Amino acid sequence: MKKIVECVPNFSEGRDRDVINAIADAISKTEGCTLLDVDPGKSTHRTVYTFVGDPESVIEGALAAARVAFKRIDMRKHKGEHPRFGAMDVCPFIPVAGVTMEECAKIAKKFAQRAAEALNVPFFLYEEAAEHEYRRKLPDVRKGEYEALEERLKDPKWKPDFGPASFVPTWGATATGARMFLIAYNVNILGTSNQAHRIALNLREAGRGEDEPGRMKDVKGMGWFVDEYNMAQVTVNLNNYHVTAIHELFESVKEEAAALNVGVAGSEIVGIVPLESLIMAADYYIEKENLFIYEEDQKVRLAIERLGLNSVAPFNPKEKVIEYIVAEPPDEPLASLSVRGFIEEIAARTSAPGGGSASAAMAAIGTGLGSMVAKLTYGVRKFENVDAHMRKHIPLLHDLTQKLIPMIDADTSAFNEYMEGLRMPRGTDEEKAERHAKMQAGLKTAINVPLTTMRLADAAWDALCEVARYGNPASKSDVQVGAKALETGIWGAYQNVLINMEDVEDEAYKSEILKESEAIEKRAREKCSEVLSLLG
């Protein structure tokens, strides 16, 4: 999975368009970064930037922005309504896809170290990157704001995590850290702002005060009336959608509104949202309503409909979901060919693509045929008695097919690491040792690709047996072809494991991999026979 990190730096400049644009340009021109949003505020004298990229790119983007701010912002002249203590006031890093919170904490620390060294200014770590519990919360780190910073830096307790413990008047200080994705979410109320606010008070974590906390954790909120919608809204920030999810907030607002005899008319997401949060909502409604939906785009559509996200403005997933905004076409030149083109590539006078890619393609065809027959059986009136079986196995066969397709191209590039080692210099004993180690590691990489194909294909057998047992009899030959294709794909991948294993010197590794691959190949023969016998 592609690693995506969101970075949301806040700069203490919300009025000078030249400065705002210069910072935006620095981010957008950083390779690997996609600038998603620029939100300046005149009264707060602050601009919030939102951009995404891979871990290394977001660090470079944040550094580029900090360099511009260092040259263009002078904190001695800054006044605004929003709390602040630095030119780049805060710079959080947020995991979006393929990245853990721990990784984002390391990203924040790496950014702080590099920025502090480059600019010679103080940086504090907060939230999940904090190394002291008393520095975890941003208000504690920023207490007293810019005006109190000079004296505060003299206190050893508030020595910066990176950079000098001295006051830099033009810059101040910066807090950087890692936190969960914050979702700005509004639920539409067909009532008054007072009623919306009553609901918000009942739900937000702070509630009505310490003696009367709200129902939902990590939620900030209030009620207001939006003239352009002619509706009230419960407007909230979901600080951690793993703690309180979008659908949980929406359903709770519906409960509170019903108690007040007030109608709910959908909701809206302000800004962008992680795909996972919508899939979580879809899974909730799928379970609640006993629906059968397994494809991602249909899950997203279900979430949009159940949450009423089109109620005040069209919700276009391609413009609102982070993963879709930054999506790039898959690097699958072989899998993207026509069937004719793929076969002609195999037939060409080149060593790749070869048997490994062909094996992955055959395995994918095998699971694909099983998936097809299961889908053709499900929902047909005369086969309703086997719907439960099809519901169970369709998602697995569909998913395995999608995972096997990329293995067609993965096999062709499997020897890249080995070839890199082969080209390494070997003039000295040290160079020879490094070259040898690289080549041995490359062989293991080359083995892992067909082994992965085997593992994925092997996971389909039980489902394929069930399709043979309960599937539409008119599709008997399709299941038969699927079983033989799956068996052949596994056998072909097994041969690739064996041929690449010959030069591996790690005997323990060889023994372990051979034992596993032999078991998968044997099971393929047995399971293929079982499928064929079930079909008669």
Q: Which residues contact 70 (CB under 8 A, 6 or more apart)?
A: 87, 119, 121, 170, 171
The answer to whether domain 183-325 has CATH 1.20.1300.10 is: no
Distance separating alpha carbons of residues 24 and 227, to the nearest angstrom: 31
Task: Collect contacts of 331-337 with beta carbons under 8 A, ≥24 apart.
Answer: 331/409, 332/405, 332/406, 332/408, 332/409, 333/409, 334/408, 334/409, 334/412, 335/405, 335/406, 335/408, 335/409
462 vs 367, 396, 451, 522, 529, CA distance in Å?
11, 10, 19, 15, 13
Bridge partners of 512?
Answer: none
Q: Which of 16, 54, 82, 462 is catalytic?
A: 82
Alpha helices in 348-475 (DSSP H): 355-377, 387-404, 407-412, 416-422, 429-458, 461-470
Nearest to 58 by CA among 116, 125, 108, 128: 108
Sequential DSSP letters for 200-248: HHHHSTTTTSTTS--SSTTEEEEEEEETTTTEEEEEEEES-TTTS-HHH
Q: What is the pLDDT of residue 44?
A: 79
Q: What is the pLDDT of residue 39?
A: 84
The two structure tokens encoding residue 505:
């010197």
Q: Which helix (H) or strand (E) holds 189?
A: strand 183-190
SS3 category, 185: strand
Q: Which amino acid is at 49?
A: Y
Distance separating alpha carbons of residues 206 and 172, to the nearest angstrom: 31
Q: What is the pLDDT of residue 412?
A: 78
Q: Clarify whether 18 is annotated catalytic.
A: no
Q: For the whole prediction, is pTM greater than 0.85?
A: no
Per-domain residue ranges for the chain? 4-178, 183-325, 339-535
Neighbours of 296 (CB within 10 A): 15
Q: Clarify whether 132 is annotated catalytic.
A: no
Q: Which of 89, 411, 458, 478 is catalytic?
A: 411
Q: What is the pLDDT of residue 174?
A: 97
Distance separating alpha carbons of residues 399 and 394, to the nearest angstrom: 8
CA dihedral 352, 353, 356, 358 (to 10 degrees): -150
Computed on alpha carbons and rounded to an integer, the radius of gyration of the chain in Å comes to 29
Instruction: Return phi, psi of residue 42, to 5°.
Output: -70, -45
Assign a CATH topology to domain 339-535: Four Helix Bundle (Hemerythrin (Met), subunit A) (1.20.120)
Q: Which CATH superfamily is domain 4-178 in?
A: Formiminotransferase, N-terminal subdomain (3.30.990.10)
Q: What is the DSSP letter of 536?
A: -
Q: Is 261 left (phi over 0), alpha (psi -120 to 50) or beta?
A: left
Q: What is the pLDDT of residue 1?
A: 60
Q: What is the pLDDT of residue 136?
A: 93
Distance separating alpha carbons of residues 296 and 275, to the nearest angstrom: 10
Distance separating alpha carbons of residues 259 and 402, to the nearest angstrom: 46
The two structure tokens encoding residue 369:
């045929």
CA atoms in the 13 A half-sphere facing the CB of 480: 10
CB-count exposure of residue 86 (10 Å: 0-12, 13-18, 19+): buried
Bridge partners of 91?
Answer: 176
Sequential DSSP letters for 78-141: ---SS--SBSEEEEEEEEEES--HHHHHHHHHHHHHHHHHHH---EEEEETT-SSGGGSSHHHH
Distance separating alpha carbons of residues 145 and 147, to the nearest angstrom: 6
Nearest to 129 by CA among 83, 173, 93, 90: 93
The answer to whether the CB of 447 falls within 8 A of the CB of 499 is no
Q: pLDDT per position in the chain (536 positions), as tens?
A: 678 999 999 999 999 999 999 999 999 999 999 998 888 888 778 898 999 999 999 999 999 999 999 999 999 999 887 889 999 999 999 998 889 999 999 999 999 999 999 999 999 999 999 999 999 998 899 999 999 999 999 999 999 999 999 999 999 999 999 998 889 899 999 999 999 999 999 999 999 998 999 999 999 999 999 888 899 999 998 999 999 999 999 999 999 999 999 999 999 998 789 999 999 999 999 999 999 999 999 999 999 999 999 999 899 999 889 888 888 788 899 999 999 999 999 999 888 888 999 999 999 999 999 999 999 999 999 999 999 999 999 999 999 999 999 999 998 777 777 788 888 898 898 888 999 998 898 889 889 999 999 999 999 999 999 999 999 999 999 999 999 999 999 999 999 999 989 889 999 999 999 999 999 999 999 999 999 999 98
Q: What is the pLDDT of residue 72?
A: 96
